[in-house]
Structure 1
Amino acid sequence: MIDTAVVLARGLGSRMRKEGAGDLTPEQAAAAASGHKALMPIGPHRLIDYSLSALADAGIRRAVLVVAPEHEEFARHVEQLAPLRLEIGFAVQAEPQGTADAVASARDAVGERPFVMVNGDNLYPRDGIAALLEQERTTLLGFERTALVEHSNIAADRVAAFAIVEHEDGALRRILEKPTAEQLAAAGPDALVSMNAFAFQPEIFEACARIEPSERGELEIVDAVRALPDVRVLPFAGGVLDLSRRDDIDEVERRLAGVEVAL
Structure 2
Amino acid sequence: MKALVLAGGAGTRLRPITHTSAKQLVPVANKAVLFYGLESLADAGVTEAGVIVGETADEIRAAVGDGTRFGLHVTYIPQERPLGLAHAVIVARDWLGDDDFVMYLGDNFIVGGITALVDEFRRTRPAAQILLTRVADPRAFGVAELDQAGNVVGLEEKPRNPRSDLALVGVYLFTPAVHAAVRAVRPSRRGELEITDAVQHLLDSGAEVRSTIIKGYWKDTGNVVDMLEVNRTVLEGVERRIDGEVDEASETVGRVVVEAGARVVRSRIVGPVVIGAGTEIRDSYVGPFTSVGEHCRITDSEVEFSIVLRDSSIEGVGRIENSLIGRHVEVTPAPGVPTAHRLVLGDHSKVQIHS
> Do they fold alike, i.e. is TM over 0.5?
yes
Which residue in 1 is equivalent to 2:19?
A: 33
Stretch moving more, 130-139 or 95-104: 130-139
Q: In 2, distance between residues paired with 1:222 and 1:200?
A: 13
Instruction: For 1:33, give the aligned amino acid.
Output: H
Partner SS state of residue 5, structure 1: strand
Which structure is larger by alpha-carbon Rg, 1 or 2? 2
Partner SS state of residue 134, structure 1: helix
Q: In 1, distance between residues paired with 2:152 and 2:67?
A: 39
Which residue in 2 is equivalent to 1:138?
A: 127
Q: CA deviation at 1:108?
A: 1.7
Which residue in 2 is equivalent to 1:9?
A: 7
Alpha-carbon contact 1:163-1:178 (below 8 Å) kept? yes
The alpha-carbon distance between structure 1 residues 104 and 124, as it changes in their structure 2 partners (threshold 3 A), is farther
Structure with higher helix content: 1
Q: In 1, distance between residues paired with 2:36 and 2:54?
A: 21
The share of aligned pairs that are identical, in percent, is: 34
Q: CA deviation at 1:5?
A: 1.4
Which residue in 2 is equivalent to 1:21?
A: none
Map 1:194-209 to 2 at 5 A.
Answer: 194-209=168-183
Which residue in 1 is equivalent to 2:351?
A: none
Q: CA deviation at 1:133?
A: 4.2
Which residue in 1 is equivalent to 2:215?
A: 237
1:92 lines up with 2:71 in the alignment: no
Q: In 2, distance between residues paired with 1:71 and 1:139?
A: 29
Alpha-carbon contact 2:110-2:218 (below 8 Å) kept? yes
**Correspondence for 1:57 among 30, 40, 43:** 43
1:246 lines up with 2:224 in the alignment: yes
Structure with the greater relative contact order (CA < 8 A, sep ≥ 6): 1 or 2? 1
Q: CA RMSD in A?
A: 2.7
TM-score norm. by structure 1 comes to 0.76
1:221 lines up with 2:192 in the alignment: no
Alpha-carbon contact 1:101-1:219 (below 8 Å) kept? yes
Q: CA deviation at 1:68?
A: 1.3
Partner SS state of residue 65, structure 2: helix
How many residues are treated as equivalent by the alignment? 230
Alpha-carbon contact 1:121-1:243 (below 8 Å) kept? yes
Q: CA deviation at 1:200?
A: 0.5
Which runs of no fewer than 5 residues in structure 2 stay unpaired? 240-355
Q: CA deviation at 1:128?
A: 4.2
**Correspondence for 1:165 among 138, 144, 160:** 144
Structure with higher strand content: 2
Q: In 2, distance between residues paired with 1:70 and 1:237?
A: 33
Q: CA deviation at 1:222?
A: 0.8
The alpha-carbon distance between structure 1 residues 172 and 129, as it changes in their structure 2 partners (threshold 3 A), is farther
Stretch moving more, 81-90 or 115-124: 81-90
Which residue in 2 is equivalent to 1:112?
A: 98
Stretch moving more, 134-143 or 195-204: 134-143
Stretch moving more, 211-220 or 159-168: 159-168
Instruction: For 1:247, give the aligned amino acid.
Output: V
Q: In 1, distance between residues paired with 2:34 and 2:170?
A: 16
Note the alpha carbon deviations across 1:3-29, whole angstroms, 9 max, x for none.
Answer: 3211111112121226xxxxxxxxxx3
Q: In 1, distance between residues paired with 2:70 and 2:109?
A: 20
Which residue in 2 is equivalent to 1:101?
A: 87
Partner SS state of residue 54, structure 1: helix
Alpha-carbon contact 2:133-2:215 (below 8 Å) kept? yes
The alpha-carbon distance between structure 1 residues 245 and 69, as it changes in their structure 2 partners (threshold 3 A), is closer
Alpha-carbon contact 1:125-1:239 (below 8 Å) kept? yes
The alpha-carbon distance between structure 1 residues 259 and 53, as it changes in their structure 2 partners (threshold 3 A), is farther
Note the alpha carbon deviations across 1:44-91, whole angstroms, 9 max, x for none.
Answer: 321111111122222222221111165111111122864252222211
Partner SS state of residue 88, structure 2: helix
Which runs of no fewer than 5 residues in structure 1 stay unpaired? 19-28, 150-155
